[in-house]
């Protein structure tokens, strides 16, 4: 595939994942400075095409690499990026928006601090669409973050820059967060492992837990299940929510045979694209061959779930705009907001009297979510309703109502876990006829990341994930 954007070179990083890179640094086989220098060279090679870096901090990263010691954390010296919606001292935090002046912030916030505490060396900030409100990292000026498997396609969103950098091989792992699928959607688009943790599993941004429904979870974009599992274990050692069971370090497949429900219909009721559903059907066949019991299950819908989520999403656009104006003052320019944010704000103002009822129904949806796991250990579904789209299909400059329709049709499954708070994981499936990887989605009961990761290891071993540096 000559159109792939591949950063894998014969350098200090090689083809290792984050755990492998950290191990080689700890053993002295390579140094942190060699790993970071290699990552910078890789970013310089691929980013002119991918446009995945929002803000660079290469000089500070080189200083941090020279100071890195194995005692800094289990991922000491591993180069990585933070998403552009967490605050890291010395770098701007613009949330993907041209309305925010790129002024370096003075302090690191809680989710960024927890991520960095694992020893990662931060090269900069990865790109995202404005306030993470759309499922493709595209901007009103026509620019976009591109998919390394084929630059004519979307890298997903909102952690699109992180996914493009990891999938291309520029860095082994990158920070992301997920408020409606923002880790799992780009993981699906770019052939990565995307774990969305249980609500409250990791540190949240300030004020998140005061929201009527806290949709967001912090995490990482990874190429291997091993990285997802070890990253979560490392984060858990930094902060463990006393209201959730510990996950610990999941190191491989579980011997336990599971009861797995298959969800074939998204809450919207929009039919899944046949090629996309075929990816899930192939996974169901594999699960059966591996000895798991599989039957049908319905996702919670509540009748109004999609409309309620869209209204709450619009409410969040209003909250974020007000918050940024309050915090940034003269460095925030509301007239520069892109059409999607403006459209969502206008939609909320038209329907604002329906907000209380929508919030009440969204909070009640967890009852139906929990009920799914009375008879099932996991639920499998497509990650998305449709294949990864070409750039432009979800452009923020489209007619707002048409774009909203396309987004709701495309996303399909992922918001359920943000609404209800349960953990889920997107896993790659083999390449389709378009040369892009597919994806399948597993959900678990609250606090049960361990079962997700155990099965993910088993599927990875039974059907190895496609890697962009594989030569066909």
Contact 443, 266 (CB under 8 A): no
Question: Is 158 an annotated catalytic residue?
Answer: yes
**H or E, element range at 428:** strand 424-431
Q: 308: part of which helix (H) or strand (E)?
A: helix 305-328
**Would you tell me how many other CB atoms lie within 10 Å of the CB of residue 31?**
16
Q: Where are the beta strands (DSSP E) in 193-351?
A: 193-196, 217-222, 259-262, 293-296
Q: Which pair of tokens denotes residue 446?
A: 């609250």
Q: How far is CA 469 from the centre of its chain?
A: 21
Contacts of 443 (CB under 8 A, 6+ apart): 372, 378, 379, 380, 381, 416, 417, 422, 423, 424
What is the separation of C-alpha 381 from the centre of its chain, rounded to a whole number of angstroms? 17
Closest CA to 16 of 461, 467, 435: 467
Catalytic residue chosen out of the listed positions 80, 93, 158, 321: 158
CA atoms within 13 A on the CB side of 393: 19
Contact 17, 231 (CB under 8 A): no
68 is catalytic: no
Q: Could you give the CA distance from residue 82 to residue 220 in angstroms, rounded to a whole number? A: 9
- Positions of E strands within 197-234: 217-222
How many whole angstroms separate alpha carbon 131 and alpha carbon 316? 9
Question: Of 68, 80, 83, 136, which one is the catalytic site residue?
Answer: 83
Residue 278 sits at the vertex; the CA angle it makes with 277 and 279, to the nearest 5 degrees, is 90
8 A C-beta contact, residue 406 and residue 393: yes
- Per the annotation, the verdict on 182 as an active-site residue is yes
CB burial of residue 467 (10 Å; 0-12, 13-18, 19+): middle
Rounded Cα–Cα distance for residues 249 and 288 (Å): 26
Closest by Cα among 234, 266, 253, 126 to 190 = 126
Active-site residue, from 136, 182, 268, 321? 182
Sequence-ordered alpha helix ranges (H) in 144-295: 160-168, 184-190, 225-238, 274-289
Q: What amino acid positions are annotated as catalytic residues?
A: 83, 158, 182
């Amino acid at each position: 595939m000559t159109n792939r954007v591949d950063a894998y070179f014969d350098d200090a990083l090689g083809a290792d994942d984050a755990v492998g890179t950290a191990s080689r640094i700890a053993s002295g086989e390579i140094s942190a400075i060699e790993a970071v220098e290699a990552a910078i060279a890789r970013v310089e090679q691929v980013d002119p095409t991918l446009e995945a870096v929002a803000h660079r901090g290469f000089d500070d990263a080189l200083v941090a690499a020279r100071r890195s010691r194995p005692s800094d954390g289990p991922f000491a010296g591993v180069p990585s990026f933070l998403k552009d919606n967490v605050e890291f001292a010395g770098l701007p935090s613009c949330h993907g928006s041209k309305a925010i002046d790129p002024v370096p912030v003075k302090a690191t916030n809680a989710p960024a601090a927890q991520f960095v505490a694992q020893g990662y060396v931060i090269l900069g900030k990865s790109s995202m669409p404005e306030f993470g409100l759309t499922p493709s990292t595209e901007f009103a000026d026509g620019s976009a973050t591109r998919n390394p498997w084929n630059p004519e396609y979307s890298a997903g969103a909102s952690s699109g820059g992180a996914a493009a950098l990891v999938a291309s091989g520029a860095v082994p792992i990158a920070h992301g967060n997920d408020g409606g699928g923002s880790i799992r959607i780009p993981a699906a688009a770019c052939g990565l492992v995307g774990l969305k943790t249980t609500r409250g599993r990791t540190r949240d941004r300030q004020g998140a837990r005061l929201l009527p429904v806290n949709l967001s979870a912090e995490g990482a974009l990874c190429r291997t299940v091993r990285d997802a599992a070890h990253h979560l274990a490392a984060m858990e050692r930094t902060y463990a929510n006393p209201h959730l069971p510990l996950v610990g370090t999941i190191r491989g497949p579980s011997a336990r045979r599971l009861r797995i429900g298959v969800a074939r219909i998204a809450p919207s009721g929009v039919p899944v694209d046949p090629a996309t559903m075929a990816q899930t059907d192939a996974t169901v066949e594999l699960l059966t061959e591996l000895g798991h019991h599989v039957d049908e299950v319905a996702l919670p819908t509540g009748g109004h779930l999609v409309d309620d989520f869209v209204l709450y999403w619009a409410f969040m656009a209003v909250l974020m705009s007000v918050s940024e104006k309050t915090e940034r003052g003269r460095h925030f320019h509301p007239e520069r907001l892109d059409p999607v944010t403006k459209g969502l704000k206008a939609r909320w103002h038209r329907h604002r009297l329906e907000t209380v009822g929508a919030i009440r129904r969204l909070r009640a949806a967890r009852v139906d979510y929990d009920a799914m796991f009375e008879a099932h250990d996991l639920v499998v579904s497509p990650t998305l309703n449709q294949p990864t789209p070409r750039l432009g299909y979800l452009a923020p400059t489209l007619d707002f109502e048409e774009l909203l329709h396309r987004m709701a049709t495309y996303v399909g499954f992922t918001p359920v876990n943000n609404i209800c708070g349960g953990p889920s994981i997107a896993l790659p499936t083999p390449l389709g006829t378009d040369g892009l990887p597919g994806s399948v989605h597993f959900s678990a009961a609250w606090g049960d990341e361990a079962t997700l990761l155990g099965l993910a290891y088993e599927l990875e071993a039974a059907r190895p994930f496609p890697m962009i540096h594989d030569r066909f």
